[in-house]
Amino acid sequence: MEVEGVVSSGEQKKEKERDIRRARGQISCAECRRLKLKCDKQIPCSSCVRRGCMSLCPNGVQLSKENHGTRHPQRPRLVDKERLRTQVLEMGERIRKLENELRILHSCHSPDIHPLLSEELLRVKAIISESERVTSRRSTSSDVDDQFIESFGTLAVSDGGTERFLGASGTTESLQIKGFPPPAVGLVYDYRSNWRFIPEIWKNNEVLVQIVKAHLPSQTRATELCEAYLNNISWFCRPIRREQIMEELLPVLYSDHILQMDVHDLSLILMTLSAGAAGDLSLPAYNEEAELFYELSMMAMSMRSLLESEGASLSTVQTLMLGGVHHLVSGRMNSLEPIWKIQSFACVLATVTDRDPANWKLEEKLVQRRRQVFWELFVVDKWKSLACGRPPAFKLGDIDCLYADDTDATDDQDGNIVASPWHWKTRFCKEVANFAIEKFCSSKPVTYAEVLELDRIIEDFSDHVILASPETANQTYRRQQPSDVLRYIAVHLYRNISLIHVHRGFFAEALMKFPSNPLDSPFAHSFSAAYRGSVKLLGVLRTKFDELSPLLIRMWPMWAHSLTAAVIVGSVALHCRGSPMAAPAAIELDHAITLFEKAIIHPVVETGLVSSVYPSLHNSQC
């Protein structure tokens, strides 16, 4: 008897272990094992779902007449339950489609949420239990989630053998790759053309200072140019702050100590003057003064080789970043290719800036400066990669650099600290855009499940970030300053730009495979998200253009992303003529064309839209 008790206790222990393993999905469920069926080890498994005994899975078994003298409940009841569950699923899917279409149509007329799309009403379709959603999606949604967009990018080879590559995420560049007019010829003596071959007699500070002094403006004018950069351009990229310009570099430039000035510090302040001249609203974006200071800066940088072990410094990185900003703002270049190269060079030279400088016990001012420069470079690197479709230089896993102190933070009316636009931009790029860029700039195709996860990250971030508006912030964020309004607009554009890039691939899939009504496609969420983001992006730019046109006309990235948004809106108007979305999309397209005609002087608009896209979209409306 004692032996039998020990055996019985051991069998109970083994049975308990089997139950635990079944609950974890490690072995087949009890019912599949009894019937010798293949089990997918999900809870409930597909076999139990198909046979209508989900409640038994994983450890229960059906009672049969042979073993316990009782019957399982009659099959018709299970069939009725399955039919009702299917109806509930179909109704929930129908509700989602109607909500999506209502959301799109309403967003074209009002920025407010439609009353029928309130949180309480959106929860109506939540009666479907999680287990039912899981089982119902196994046969359909899993296939959709595994679908991917495979694009190898574009490789263009000229007759002379010159190559240009654009990755899968490249947008306006791919529209313009067919041909650009050559960039404008320099308006002053081009020091840059010979900067690699400067004679040895020139390679001393005295000759360099003589040339610089001969072209320097008055100190008052130089201060105005620095203010123009800080007020009009720095919201976009700020590798150098006011304190370094006004307290360290500018005073030395107009003093007797200019000969002792490091040549790359000299190059930095000259490039700041160049960016300021490009941002001077009293001058054209592409003007002689900006080009002159750019050439002088490049000449000063060439006085010390960047290829030597001690050739580059933090000032060198700052100068190259400002050089890229100069090209973006002035409109001198007709392509992003030169800008991509100069910014990539800055990333290469940014030695160990991705490691927090406090580790080396540097002076606090230098610690904050290095942190600020690195995160500005990080943001530039990520958005540059997204625009060109090429891998970024910095990987988040290799970075331990902390954020710089947010000295520009403000207080709202309730006394809460509100992050500055620069800090918000950095956080958004690190915590949101970085993941999308790493996915879309990779050689591995992006699945639809990954797209939906990126969409969730974007939406979740916007929920917990408090951003001051010009109406509610204190006096340090004044409504009457155009640059303040522009920073405020830019912060709100980041989210829509990210949504467009994340969803545009599957937007095209929905449009091509379901042209009569893309909202019926498995990619309806991407279709509506890309369309909504495009409408909002064009709407913000359109409403502020007349007020801020001298500033907006200088912003290459805004026009590049707006061109992508116009193509998306135009595609809906052209291919969905039988859909109720066609009419609102056609109206948005008309507004976009009118906006671009006002900005015809910008090279992106002139070459990318008017020469390539505008004729086809205009003819499609006729």
What confidence tens digit (pLDDT) does each residue in 108-140 have? 566 567 777 776 676 665 544 444 444 444 444
Percent of the chain with pLDDT over 90: 22
Average pLDDT of the segment spanning 579-586: 86
Q: Say whether both 213 and 362 belong to one domain.
A: yes
538 falls within a domain:
no
Q: Exposed/middle/buried for 66, CB within 10 Å: 0-12, 13-18, 19+?
A: exposed
Q: Say whether both 260 and 379 belong to one domain.
A: yes
Q: Say whether both 364 and 392 belong to one domain.
A: yes
48 falls within a domain:
yes
Average pLDDT of the segment spanning 393-419: 84
What phi, psi does 616 have (nearest 5°)?
A: -70, -40
Enumerate the H helices of 216-334 as residue ranges: 219-228, 242-243, 250-253, 263-278, 288-301, 314-330
Q: Can you state the percent helix, strand and coil of the chain, rounding each to 5?
A: 65, 5, 30
**pLDDT value, residue 319:** 96
Q: Say whether both 129 and 214 belong to one domain.
A: no
**pLDDT value, residue 4:** 46
In this predicted structure, the answer to whether residue 239 has a pLDDT above a threshold of 90 is yes
383 falls within a domain:
yes
258 falls within a domain:
yes
What confidence tens digit (pLDDT) does each residue in 23-41 have? 777 888 888 888 888 888 8
More reliable by pLDDT, 414 or 172: 414
**pLDDT value, residue 1:** 47
Q: pLDDT-derived band of residue 494, with 50, 70 and 90 as boundaries?
A: confident
CA dist list (Å): 246 to 227, 257, 315, 321: 10, 16, 15, 19
Instruction: Tell which of 355, 383, 401 closes a domain.
Output: 401
Q: Whole-number mean pLDDT of the chain?
A: 77
Average pLDDT of the segment spanning 63-67: 52
527 falls within a domain:
no
Instruction: Tell which of 350, 378, 401 closes a domain.
Output: 401
What confidence tens digit (pLDDT) does each residue in 243-271 have? 999 999 999 999 999 989 999 999 999 99
In this predicted structure, the answer to whether residue 80 has a pLDDT above a threshold of 70 is no
In this predicted structure, the answer to whether residue 280 has a pLDDT above a threshold of 90 is yes
Q: Say whether both 241 and 387 belong to one domain.
A: yes
Give the distance between the most distant pair of CA atoms in the chain. 111
Q: Domain range spanning residue 279?
A: 200-333+336-401
Q: Say whether both 321 and 223 belong to one domain.
A: yes
Q: Say whether both 135 and 235 belong to one domain.
A: no
Q: Say whether both 234 and 363 belong to one domain.
A: yes
**pLDDT value, residue 109:** 63
Q: pLDDT-derived band of residue 444, with 50, 70 and 90 as boundaries?
A: confident
Q: pLDDT-derived band of residue 72, with 50, 70 and 90 as boundaries?
A: very low
Q: pLDDT-derived band of residue 161, with 50, 70 and 90 as boundaries?
A: very low
Q: Say whether both 57 and 84 belong to one domain.
A: no
Q: Say whether both 38 and 102 belong to one domain.
A: no
Q: Say whether both 308 and 353 belong to one domain.
A: yes
Query: What is the amino acid identity at position 471?
Result: E
210 falls within a domain:
yes
pTM of the full predicted structure? 0.70
What confidence tens digit (pLDDT) does each residue in 521-556 have? 889 999 999 999 999 999 988 888 888 888 888 888
The residue among 441, 228, 262 whose CA lies nearest residue 330 is: 228
8 falls within a domain:
yes
Top-ranked range on mean pLDDT: pick from 224-233, 414-423, 573-582:
224-233
**pLDDT value, residue 78:** 47
In this predicted structure, the answer to whether residue 435 has a pLDDT above a threshold of 80 is yes
Q: pLDDT-derived band of residue 581, with 50, 70 and 90 as boundaries?
A: confident
241 falls within a domain:
yes
More reliable by pLDDT, 104 or 249: 249
Instruction: Tell which of 113, 139, 165 closes a domain.
Output: 139
Q: Say whether both 239 and 348 belong to one domain.
A: yes
CA dist list (Å): 505 to 149, 445, 510, 512, 527: 7, 11, 9, 11, 9
202, two tokens: 């020139």
**What total number of domains does the chain contain?**
3
What ranges make up the beta strands (E) of 349-441? 410-411, 417-418
Q: pLDDT-derived band of residue 166, with 50, 70 and 90 as boundaries?
A: very low
